[in-house]
Amino acid sequence: MTLPLREKRRQETALLIQRATLELAKENGLDAVTTDAIAAASGVSTRTFFNYYANKEAAAIGHPPEFTKEQMEALRAGTGPLVADLKQFLDSHMEALSEREDIVRLVGSVLRSNDKARGILEGLLAAERLVLTEALCARLNNRQTAASLANNATSAIGAAIFLWQKDGEIALSAALDIVWEGVIDASRLLSFKQDGEAQS
Amino acid sequence: MTLPLREKRRQETALLIQRATLELAKENGLDAVTTDAIAAASGVSTRTFFNYYANKEAAAIGHPPEFTKEQMEALRAGTGPLVADLKQFLDSHMEALSEREDIVRLVGSVLRSNDKARGILEGLLAAERLVLTEALCARLNNRQTAASLANNATSAIGAAIFLWQKDGEIALSAALDIVWEGVIDASRLLSFKQDGEAQS
DNA sequence: GTAATCCTTGCGCAGTCTGCAAAGTTTGCA
DNA sequence: TGCAAACTTTGCAGACTGCGCAAGGATTAC
């Protein structure tokens, strides 16, 4: 962890700008906030703001935690049954998100009212989903299956956040448990042997 | 089907503008296209363009086919096992998409390079997913399970389109079959009874 | 045929985002 | 420590986006 000063400053400023953006968006939504206002609140020039983020929506999203090397490795190595490993993987990612609960909550409200922000996050998630698909592929040797698993997993994270926001009482990890149970139930229904149908 | 003239014209113009937008975007991507250019190519004023679509990204997406009342009803009534009904539902929706293959292909390429367009489509899809969730809820009495099923279903449509675009040989319906098989396989893995784990 | 309703359009304004070049910081190396 | 190379910040100018407004044109219902 011996980052050069430059790098460190950059990360700090990026986070500072994100917080300023979200703070301003709380009032009347992100659309009502100008880039000039964000720059001013962050203590940088407007031009510099655009050196950090391509637009205000990207600033609101910031840099969400990615799947770490350790998490991916644990999943690929695979000690237990796949379901358990996957759940563990999601739990550990959820924990990373919990450390920025305030930001997660604010980002969530921006997403509800801003198409562009949604698209940006969706792009980031798609990349993560691809990474996860690759890792699962190594364990399964079937791309479509791996892709579907990755989809269920990443969607579960989003659904858990949604549930957590709506409820307001339960913890993020508890929300994930509830959502995951639904995923498993749905899987039972989908994999149920059909009455008179042929089954490969 | 006795639409007033106004309504009909409106739909035609909306489609015309969408086609013009996609046509112009083929060259250098949507970002390189100005709203003035789209308006000129569509034979309307720039101001009128904005009466049809909120922005050029929305114009590129247009108005994708929604789940029809008949499709939803068939799913809710539910004659066979759920998996079969769901597959049938997806097949019929895929058929609707096949009738606009040219547009689907162009929209796909816009989505790859434009965050805002992705967000807009994602918003439309989320609404559809919600409709589907409601319908499944009526049959299942469990919201989380219904949501997971709806997620798997709508994601499958997207994945099928992706596969169809990448491959270039297979038909949309065939692509859906391949994707769906992956979904079922993944479900088997997820619902697999775990070794020593407790099972509710 | 006529009144009510809805659509289109030009104009103007506030805001977004980029290229460029000058000025300021940080880094590595001697 | 001190200096050159590499990188950052910033102001400015300029093209593009998106919307409110109000006048004029088309369509509808009766």
Tens-digit pLDDT profile for residues B56-93 = 999 999 999 999 999 999 998 877 789 999 999 999 99
Does the distance separating the beta carbons of B115 and A116 come in below 8 Å? yes
Region A28-50 average pLDDT: 94
Question: Mean pLDDT of all residues in chain B?
Answer: 89
> Whole-prediction pTM value?
0.89
Above 60 in pLDDT, residue B42?
yes
Q: Residues contacting strand C at CB < 7 A?
A: A 4-6, 9, 33-36, 46-47, 50, 54-56; B 6, 9-10, 13, 44-48, 51-52
How large a percentage of chain B has pLDDT more than 90?
67
Above 70 in pLDDT, residue B4?
no
Closest residue in chain B to residue A85, using alpha carbons only: B190
Closest residue in chain B to residue A195, using alpha carbons only: B81
Above 90 in pLDDT, residue B193?
no
User: A183, B148 in Cβ contact below 8 A?
Assistant: yes
pLDDT tens-digit readout, A4-27 = 667 888 999 999 999 999 999 998
Nucleotides in D strand less than 7 A from protein CB = 7-12, 16-21, 27-29
Closest residue in chain B to residue A194, using alpha carbons only: B81
How large a percentage of chain A has pLDDT more than 70?
94
Contacts of B23 (CB under 8 A, 6+ apart): B41, B106
How many Å from the CA of B63 to C1' of D27?
25
Above 70 in pLDDT, residue B99?
yes
Question: Mean pLDDT of all residues in chain A?
Answer: 90
Above 50 in pLDDT, residue B108?
yes
With CA atoms as reference, report the closest residue to B193 among A137, A83, A140. A83
How confident is residue B6, by pLDDT bands cut at 50, 70 and 90?
low
Above 80 in pLDDT, residue B142?
yes
Nucleotide nearest to B35 (CA to C1'): D17
Q: Can you give the length of chain A in residues?
A: 200
Rounded distance between C-alpha atoms, residue B144 and residue B127, angstroms: 16
Contacts of A152 in chain B (CB under 8 A): 148, 151-152, 186, 190
Residue A6, Cβ neighbours under 10 Å: how many?
8
